[in-house]
Structure 1
Amino acid sequence: MTIKVGLVQESPVFFNKKETISKIERLTKAYAAEGCDLLVFPESFIPGYPRGFTFGATIGSRSEKGRKLYAEYYENSLNVKSKDLKRLEDISKKNKIYLVIGVTEKDDISGSLYCSMLYISPTAGLLGTHRKIKPTGTERIVWAEASGEALTTYQSKIGKLGGLICWENYMPLARMAMYTKGVEIYIAPTADARDEWTSSMQHIALEGRCYVLACNQYFTKSMYPERYQALVRNEPETMCRGGSLLVAPNGKIIAGPLYDKAGVLVAEIDLEEVKRNKLDFDVIGHYARNDIFEFDVKNQPETKKE
């Protein structure tokens, strides 16, 4: 099966959930018209990755201004039980395209926020959500961590989907949890714009013998609304260079990396390449040594079929 995919390297309308969803709608319409079957958006695209923010937190104390900023971030985050999700499902359905969108997700019962990835089908709506199991560094100030039930995979009509967010991809056992489900399209939204990220994505493609779709934002300081400029005054103008790329199961780069500008990487992928490349290496098949190693993931769900 050959499908056409697009990786969106854009900026959100920062801290504005409504306008960011409108931007997603415009981009989806445009690239669905170009024949894309799947469109991927970066980490925390809704309502934006809060790069440079401290939320007034230092070891041993938090400020009242920081709490107010957190409340504003919470207000603009996405609840999967809300009309915001319904709008995203409608966008997917109307344009007949799969969407994978990085969001900051709010839990209206616990009050916690999660860095999440939504899988949306044009026919089935929300297939499910992956929540980041380990936020990186000071991301832990605002994002809670999820458990094994967040390690989700989906057998869709365009192939088996799964993936991890940003530095979760440096957790070997988390990657293995994806591989054991036979992931064909491995999705890796991120905020990491280092050159080294490209090598990591090539390694994952080779290790998992899967397509890797790595999607990042292009973001500059001037894109922050005026009311946040003082919070990031010591940051460089280019806060995130991007670096989105698409890698084949043989580790070869198909598209990207795209740096220092906004854009959408579009390419066709052939899922038969996943099977062909298992001849050389199969981490869960003929290269697995189940007589030596045992692997178990607590509470990981079975692959959901669309």
Structure 2
Amino acid sequence: MNKQQMKVAVVQAAPILFDKQSAMDKIMQMTKEAARQGAELIVFPEVFIPGYPRGLSFGARVGSRTSDGRKDWQRYWESAIDIPGEETALLGELAKELSVYLAIGVVERDREFSTGTLYNSIVYIGPEGEVLGKHRKLVPTGSERLLWGQGDGSTLTVIDTPFGKIGGLICWENYMPLARAAMYAKGIDILLAPTADARDTWQATIRHIACEGRCYVIACNQFATKASYPADLSCYDDIEGDDDVLSRGGSAVVGPLGEYIAQPLYHQEGILLAVLDRSLITQSRFDFDAVGHYSRPDVFQLIVNEKKQSIVRFDQT
């Protein structure tokens, strides 16, 4: 049964970095609070489990890595999660108990082909408690490439809900025009944009995407301070000269004509609430539909490879 309205909650917070249990506890607490306020879709920031390691070098320089930095990375690896796994089972129980959709940024361990690669992922949990899908960031940004591998087209996930189609691109993936085009072609109604970018230019980005895609954009960032960093990290010295507030936030909800439904939240932890009206999506596409009447397939075409990529194939024939 289709729904005309959906109430969404955007969680702006940060766990204790490298502390998976801290992140899980915060998810439990803030999901229950958001559900109490009537939220049906609850969105958490980029790599909320186990946190975004802003400012840390992991002992890496061009041409060398330190043994202490390797130990910090091992600690990060151990605080990542499997999809599916123990943590997603607990999140499924929570979603089922509260009858909500959850979209959570996580650091994901790859158990299928290796034990040495992490991914920056979004995991989607449904109100029946099931894992509905995941998305792996296609291109980690800058120094993130030392931490996370590249996703492939097999996880350009869009999930069907009674309200409409929901999917996401992570942080600077949203600057990839062809990635956006692929999501529009999948019929996206609500585009999730978890991020670590707190600059003013990010607001211009999410408003442009909403207007271009004629969709709702849910931007979700962490509010993080030095207090969330364990002081016993080998590379803690990397942030000693930084301001106490490492990420000021900027979470927001934007409507399909580029207007704010919920204004950006800065300088504090909190939960943004917004009611989305499906009819506004239809109305907005009256004069612009990027993959419909405003497209020119005779001039421009995009081919998307959605096959899972692997360096090894075992042929049993």
- If the TM-score is normalised by the length of the shorter chain, which range does it land in? over 0.9
Answering whether residue 10 of structure 2 is matched by residue 7 of structure 1, we say: yes
Most deviating of 151-160 and 167-176 = 151-160
| Alignment of 1:20 onto 2:23 | yes
1:172 counterpart residue number: 177
Secondary structure at the aligned position of 1:226 is classed as coil
| Matching residue within 115, 119, 123 for 1:118 | 123
Q: Say if 2:94 and 2:129, in contact at 8 Å, map to a contact too.
A: no
Separation of aligned partners in 2, 1:7 and 1:75: 27
In structure 2, the residue matched to 1:263 is 270
- The superposition leaves residues 25-75 of structure 1 with CA deviations (integer Å, 9 ceiling, x where unpaired) of 111111111110000000000000011111111111111111111100000
Q: Is the alpha carbon distance of 1:267 and 1:288 closer, same or farther for their aligned partners in structure 2, counting shifts above 3 Å?
A: same
Matched, 1:187 2:192: yes
Measure the CA separation in 2 of the matches of 1:63 and 1:127. Answer: 39
Question: For residue 296 of structure 1, what is the aligned residue in structure 2?
Answer: 303
TM superposition shift of 1:256: 1.8
User: Does structure 1 retain, via aligned residues, the 8 Å contact 2:50–2:106?
Assistant: yes
Give the corresponding residue for 2:107.
104
Extract structure 1 runs of 4+ deviating beyond 4 A.
none
After the TM superposition, which residues 25-104 of structure 1 pair with which residues of structure 2 at under 5 Å, given as runs? 25-104=28-107
Partner secondary structure for residue 227 of structure 1: coil
Match of residue 286 from structure 1: 293
Query: What RMSD, in angstroms, separates the aligned Cα atoms of the two structures?
Result: 1.2
Superposition map of 1:101-250 within 5 A: 101-108=104-111, 109-110=113-114, 111-123=116-128, 125-228=130-233, 229-250=236-257
Alpha carbons 2:93, 2:129 under 8 Å: kept: no
Which amino acid is the alignment partner of residue 278 of structure 1? R
Whole-angstrom distance in 2 between the partners of 1:76 and 1:159: 33
Post-superposition offset of 1:124: 5.2
Q: How many residues align?
A: 301
AA aligned to 2:118 is L
Report sequence identity in percent. 47
**Residue pair 2:84, 2:131 contacting (<8 A) in 1 also:** no
Q: Which amino acid aligns with 2:122?
A: M
Deviation at 1:14, TM superposition (A): 1.8
Give the aligned residue type for 1:277. S
Contact 2:46 2:170 in 1 (8 A): yes
Q: Output the amino acid matched with 1:98.
A: Y
**TM-score, scaled relative to structure 1:** 0.96
The answer to whether structure 1 residue 253 and structure 2 residue 256 are counterparts is no
- CA–CA distance in structure 2, aligned partners of residues 247 and 150 of structure 1: 24
Gaps of 5+ in 2: 309-317
User: Secondary structure at 2:273's aligned position in 1?
Assistant: strand
* 1:214–1:244 Cα contact (<8 Å) kept: yes
After alignment, is 59-68 or 207-216 more displaced? 59-68
CA distance in 2, matches of 1:82, 1:53: 27
Say whether the 8 Å CA contact 1:9–1:264 is kept in structure 2. Answer: yes
Provide the C-alpha distance between the structure 1 equivalents of 2:188 and 2:247, rounded to a whole number of angstroms: 28
Instruction: Return 283-292 or 151-160, whichever deviates more.
Output: 151-160
Consecutive unaligned residues in structure 1, runs of 5 or more:
302-306
Note if contact 1:133-1:150 (Cα within 8 Å) is conserved in structure 2.
no
Instruction: For residue 275 of structure 2, give the secondary structure of its aligned residue in structure 1.
Output: strand
Are the counterparts in 2 of residues 151 and 300 from structure 1 also a CA contact under 8 Å?
A: no
1:300 CA drift (Å): 6.3
- Please tell me the residue identity of whatever aligns with 1:169: N
Q: Is the 8 A contact 2:80 2:107 kept in 1?
A: yes
SS in 1 for 2:296: coil
The residue identity in structure 2 corresponding to 1:2 is Q
Query: What code does the residue aligned with 2:273 have?
Result: V
**TM superposition score normalised by structure 2:** 0.92
1:154 shift after superposition: 1.0
